[in-house]
Structure 1
Amino acid sequence: MEACMSYRNEYPRPQFVRNTWLNLNGEWQFAFDHGKSGIERELYKHGSFNEKIQVPFCPESKLSGIGYTDFMAAVWYKRSVRVPKGWLEQRTTLHFGAVDYHAHVWVNGKKAGEHKGGYTPFSFDITDLLDGEEATIVVYVEDDNRSGLQPRGKQSEGYYSAGCDYTRTTGIWQTVWMESVSSTYVTHAKFKTNPKDGSVAVELYLNQYDRDVTIDLEATFNGKIVAEETAIVAGQSVQSFLHLSEVHLWEPGQPNLYDVTITLKKEENVIDRVESYFGVRSVSIKNKVILINDKPIFQRLVLDQGFYPDGVYTAPTDEHLKKDIKISMDMGFNGARMHEKIFEPRYLYWADQLGYLVWGEHGNWGLDITGSKGLEQFLPEWMESIERDFNSPALIGWCPFNETWDRNGTRQNDQVLRITYEVTKRLDPTRPVIDTSGNFHVITDVFDIHDYEQNVEKFAAKFEEMSKGGNVYVTFEDRQQYENQPYFVSEYGGIWWNPDEKDGWGYGEKPQSEHEFIERYQGLTVTLLNNPSICAFCYTQLYDVEQEVNGLYTYQRKAKFDPSLIRKINSQKAAIEKDFAFAVNRSKE
């Protein structure tokens, strides 16, 4: 087990960094609670758990040291930690990156709090629960992805993985850590950038109001100071502006980023300091095209499921997250749909650093949204996701739901989608929102469809009229209507190819050779690139996941084909990009 101690030691919240923190990953005590009786038995006070687990890996994973893949109604974790002496004069917060699904936390036998939602972070101020330097942390987690009352994403509802559903995740699956802060500190920040005038609207939030407090902001680019500002605190939130002396745009493949230091002072004494970053870029819609910094960039996206052979939901190392983006870019993709899962923050960090476009999506599958109860279960966590990832320049759109199929013959409650869309737009008016990817649209900024037709001629025929400015291809015409939005084929392909996998799963008829695969891939992809009415595609998928063998890479991230072959196809200039270049040249004449 000691060999696993080096896993996931990097700072877990890269857009909001303090240097006073303690990583709690590593070995914890662990126990199953199939009867969900542990709280009644007061295990949080005196429980001694015989199993050992490596956090942050879920007990279903090999890296956890458990590898138990049957259903778990509830599980327990326990660890004792010594709090650094210097922290005792400050406040101490306990952070969880993500715990699936309903977590209860105790410190030294006293309740710290609880959180519902399997994908978003939460924290508790545990200062008053500490016993000197000692902290015994106990976590109890309930998980039932068959209830219809919680989003499960691609976690299988059956005992076995099947089709496009895979191994489940229960309990802690992202970093656990502690942090020391002053009595008054910055809780989070928002950066809203304007590429046209180089201004950055900054919103800062404090845990409490304190008198005689100021905030210094300093932005640098490549180490050079390009903006400074001081704001006087008059409440729990602070509004300020930075005016950049140099404007360097963040764009796909050109990830220009500014570093920013936030310094909180009380009577000139520094009481909090946070390091962050932002990218200057805009996302807008005009003439049925999604623009990035006022330019139509065809989104050549790939579906990324965020699964790992040994870690399931959790990447074994930070380098694995970076590698998934790099291997995608090697094949000429400029972004991904983070599919049916709210990915961990460090994936977005690498997308920001590498200039890689991503769409934020919840893992909504499994949640019953045929009634209003679904909104109650879904919306709080979705709002937490928007707050967590708002500052990522790589994130260019939100997609709360994916393929909202009817459930047991009952249709989706359209108001659940409508309200979620409206809330998303109010929390973040800077990005487009797709209400539900594929079907069934209620109100959406972008009209997207899924189509896994494998015959190139039949596939092309569906989009032929719209390529000439005629009727637009709409799936499920009785349930959704195109209203002149940008058009996005957000799932296609899924070509089944893995000669070594006889019992795998994929879409349509398997090609008989690599040559046939490349021909099919080229035919499907070029059809979309050459259509002036289409502004984006997303190919299914980047890598195989368990039995689903339609990846361009194997589950171990080994390329099935020479990446340059796929890159050559993907890199062809799209029709919308040609039209833009022509219009720019005409304007210069």
Structure 2
Amino acid sequence: MRKVLLSAVIATFTIPMFAQWKPAGDRIKTDWAEKIDVNNVLPEYPRPIMERSEWQNLNGLWNYSIVTANQQKPQQFDGKILVPFAVESSLSGVGKSVGAENEIWYEREFTVPSSWKNKNIILHFGAVDWKTDVWVNDVKVGSHTGGFTPFSFDITPALQKGNNTLTVKVWDPTDKGYQPRGKQVNNPGGIWYTPVSGIWQTVWLEPVAEKYIQSIKTTPDIDRNMLTLSVAAKNLSDADRIEVVVSEDGKQVAKGVSINGLPVEIFMPKDVKLWSPDSPFLYDMQVSLISNGKAVDKVKSYAAMRKYSTHRDSNGIVRLQLNNKDLFQFGPLDQGWWPDGLYTAPTDEALVYDIQKTKDFGFNMIRKHIKVEPARWYTWCDKLGIIVWQDMPSGDRNPEWQNRQYFTGTEVKRSAESEANYKKEWKEIIDCLYSYPCIGTWVPFNEAWGQFKTPEIAEWTKAYDPTRLVNPASGGNHYTCGDMLDLHNYPGPEMYLYDAQRANVLGEYGGIGMVVKGHIWEPDRNWGYVQFNSSDEVLKEYAKFAEQLKQLIKNGFSAAVYTQTTDVEVEVNGLMTYDRKVIKVNEQKLKKINDSICRSLDK
């Protein structure tokens, strides 16, 4: 079925369109950029934690225009853009700045497969930065604000037979607005990077029945050996049943059913398998909505039995725990940027590469730094066994934090509109990522960047999701709230504050830089917190920091984050170059060092 549906997508394009696209600019690119096929861009199912058998991918070449804001749809378009790559990226084929004074218009045609007759058609966007308005056949079908989370609209009433026209308008003020934006700035340099505007994740269609599953929220409880699913469904009646079957290697091991819209409680087998970085076991699930004795909707999902918590050890130190056992969490700061796709990895193979190399390097955790990734990234972390600390992307118009003069001891004065938007987007991020087993810690603020009402935000986050740990302000203005005190120190590790009531962690350190000629973003502006000229020098410094860190682990650190996975633009602090073509240090020696750190609390 999937091949048929993809052919329907391909049929909307003609072969000459390939000639209308090529990567923009002449900067470095990954090897995966050469594998881009405009007729088959990111063809993998975009939401594997809730998968249906039928769908249609709308990625590919669209018409686009950049026009002055608040204008009508342009009569003519500027050219073709390769969706879902941001306008500013090379892989979009455009490579242009947009700015707060302009808007991006997108348009393409699509047809609905005849086999979807009498179905409701849902239009999905993985993520669009930042304010989105959508029309189908000139009928407004919806709007959304937020640059990092998925959204969807039922477009059935706007459809017509044959060809349909999808039109999308996007406005993104980058650093001229109050919205969360992470490291995007209009004048990139240092730790600040190129803007990402417009569509940057997969756009797709999905047919559903009148009653269908909208979302699932999966909560494991290893202490009670129970798995609970809260299922949100459209047009659900009290008599409708939600049925969940849990299986291992195709064999059913547990089952649960509920009516009246209640959560499904599933008692897991006595020999339940727990998820961990050493053994990332995932149970398969099928979730069915049954109405009048008929399964009107089914989705495939998965779950893991695992628990994140803290515990005071025999020396009185509060430690992070996984599955009720002390575990030193150690991983890189992962920015998630690409020289050719910016926010968007060129292929799924590229997307998983950074995670796999993190595992190969001997880490057991990733701090996803002020960015949210596509759903498939988190599924790969689940499968490969990587704990994720998930940052909230920083935002608001505040020159102090953009200039890194942020340790003021006071919090940002946000407008009421800014505060409300932060809370809305933070809730949406937690909602869409809640069911991924890999997520172990929520990080609402980084280094006081846009930091406000920290105790309130930390307490809300913990109350909204008590199954995860909360790191209230990684390296920021510190308050006695949440589960951790998080220090940043460059270049070497240091413990200059200590909290006896919470876990103490080193949220950033390192930044050992090295320029690799032929693999840099710009020839002249490259920088690192410290810089060396050879791989051996970098590894020697890394090993020195590791020995210092081991002593600090004995003194009380329970986690650490090394800066960073890859170079990003002019920042050359990566263990890999920005184009992922060079690993800067000996991989086996790096793994041996990191293994010893991750095992430092083993008994």
Question: Shorter-chain-normalised TM-score: which range?
Answer: 0.7 to 0.9
| Counterpart selection for 1:539 from 558, 562, 567 | 562
SS in 2 for 1:286: strand
SS at match of 2:157: helix
Is 1:494 aligned to residue 511 of structure 2? yes
The answer on whether the counterparts of 1:494 and 1:506 sit within 8 Å (CA) in structure 2 is no
What is the rounded CA distance, in whole Å, between the counterparts of 1:8 and 1:200 in structure 2?
32
Q: CA deviation at 1:8?
A: 0.5
The aligned amino acid for 2:297 is D
How many Å apart are 1:404 and its aligned residue? 1.6
User: Residue type matched to 2:138 in 1?
Assistant: G
Report the equivalent of 1:527. 548
1:223 counterpart letter in structure 2: G
> Using the alignment, how far apart are the partners of 2:505 and 2:77 within structure 1?
50
Tell me the distance in 1 between the aligned counterparts of 2:535 and 2:103.
Answer: 46
Residue 5 (structure 1) shift:
2.3
User: What is the deviation of 1:402?
Assistant: 1.1
Contact 1:78 1:138 in 2 (8 A): yes
1:131 aligns with 2:126: no
Q: CA deviation at 1:546?
A: 1.2
State the distance in 1 between where 2:323 and 2:280 align.
13
**Residues 366-414 of structure 1: CA deviation (Å, up to 9, x unaligned):** 45542243321211111111111111111111012211247xxxxx53x
Determine the structure 2 residue equivalent to 1:283: 308
Q: How far, CA to CA, are the matches of 1:259 and 1:512 in structure 2?
A: 48
Cα offset for 1:329? Answer: 1.4
Q: Which residue of 2 aligns with 1:5?
A: 39
Cα deviation digits, residues 237-286 of structure 1 (max 9, x gap): 32121112240000013110001001111111121001000010000111
Separation in 2, partners of 1:188, 1:70 = 34
SS of corresponding position for 1:572: helix
The Cα RMSD (Å) is 1.9
Q: Secondary structure at the match of 1:119?
A: coil
Aligned to 1:109: 138
User: Which residue number in structure 1 is paired with residue 220 of structure 2?
Assistant: 193
Code of the aligned partner of 1:491: E
Q: Counterpart in 1 of 2:9?
A: none
What are the ranges of 5 or more consecutive residues in structure 2 without an aligned counterpart? Answer: 1-16, 19-36, 313-317, 399-411
Amino acid at match of 2:537: E
Quick check: 1:370 aligned with 2:413? yes
Structure 1 position 517 matched with structure 2 position 550: no
**Residue 230 of structure 2 is aligned to residue 203 of structure 1:** yes
AA matched with 2:505: F
User: Quick one: distance in 2 between partners of 1:391 and 1:526?
Assistant: 36
2:356 aligns to what? 326
Give 2:405's aligned residue.
none
Aligned residue for 1:562? 586
Quote the Cα distance in structure 1 between the aligned partners of 2:190 and 2:419. Answer: 27
**Code of the aligned partner of 1:308:** W
- 1:31-430 matched pairs, under 5 angstroms: 31-33=65-67, 35-38=68-71, 41-43=72-74, 47-69=75-97, 71=99, 73-158=102-187, 161-210=188-237, 212-232=239-259, 234=260, 237-245=261-269, 246-287=271-312, 288-368=318-398, 369-373=412-416, 374-405=418-449, 412-413=451-452, 415=453, 417-430=454-467
Cα separation, partners in 2 of 1:574 and 1:395, compared to 1, 3 Å: closer
Conserved 8 A contact 2:528-2:571:
no
SS in 1 for 2:117: helix
Give the conservation status (yes or no) of the 8 Å contact 1:4–1:63.
no
Deviation (angstroms), 1:224: 1.5
Where does structure 1 lack aligned partners over 5 or more consecutive residues?
407-411, 464-472, 475-480, 582-589
Which whole-Å CA distance do the structure 2 matches of 1:279 and 1:564 have between them? 30
8 Å CA contact 1:396, 1:432 repeated in 2 = yes
Residues 27, 402 of structure 1: alpha-carbon distance in 2 compared, 3 angstrom cutoff: same
Q: Distance in 1 between matches of 2:295 and 2:428?
A: 29
Is the 2:490–2:511 Cα contact (8 Å) retained in structure 1?
yes
- Aligned residue pairs, count: 540
Flag the 1:37–1:239 CA change in 2: closer, same or farther, 3 A.
Answer: closer
Task: Pick which of 501-510 and 542-551 moved more.
Answer: 501-510
2 CA distance for matches of 1:64 and 1:566?
Answer: 36
TM, length-normalised to structure 1 = 0.88
Counterpart residue identity of residue 306, structure 1: G
SS of the residue corresponding to residue 196 of structure 2 reads: coil
Partner of 1:585: none
Residues 1:15 and 2:59 aligned together: no
TM superposition shift of 1:453: 3.2
Match of 2:501 in 1: 484
2:477 alignment counterpart: 440
Task: Tell me the distance in 1 between the aligned counterparts of 2:338 and 2:347.
Answer: 11
Aligned-pair distance for 1:70? 5.6
Query: Residue 157 of structure 1: CA displacement?
Result: 3.2
* 1:88/1:133 contact within 8 Å kept: no
Amino-acid identity (%)? 36
Alpha-carbon distance, 1:171 to partner = 0.1
Distance 1:6 1:143 in 2: 27
Distance in 1 of aligned mates of 2:533 and 2:206:
56
> Residue 33 of structure 2 corresponds to which residue in structure 1?
none
Deviates more, 1:66-75 or 1:138-147: 66-75
Per the normalisation by structure 2, the TM-score is 0.86
Opposite residue 267 of structure 2, the aligned amino acid is: H
Partner Cα separation in structure 1 for residue 46 and residue 76 of structure 2: 29
> Is residue 535–residue 576 contact of structure 1 (8 Å, CA) maintained in 2?
no
Task: Name the SS of the counterpart of 2:512 in structure 1.
Answer: coil
- Tell me, what secondary structure is at the counterpart of 2:377? helix
Q: Which residue of 1 aligns with 2:3?
A: none
The alpha-carbon deviation at position 215 of structure 1 amounts to: 2.0
Find the residue that maps to 2:589 and give its secondary structure.
helix
Deviation track 1:497-528 (CA, whole Å, cap 9, x = no partner) reads: 12536634434442354333222111112222
Inter-partner Cα distance in structure 2 for 1:569 and 1:575: 10
**Shift of residue 220, structure 1, vs aligned partner:** 0.2
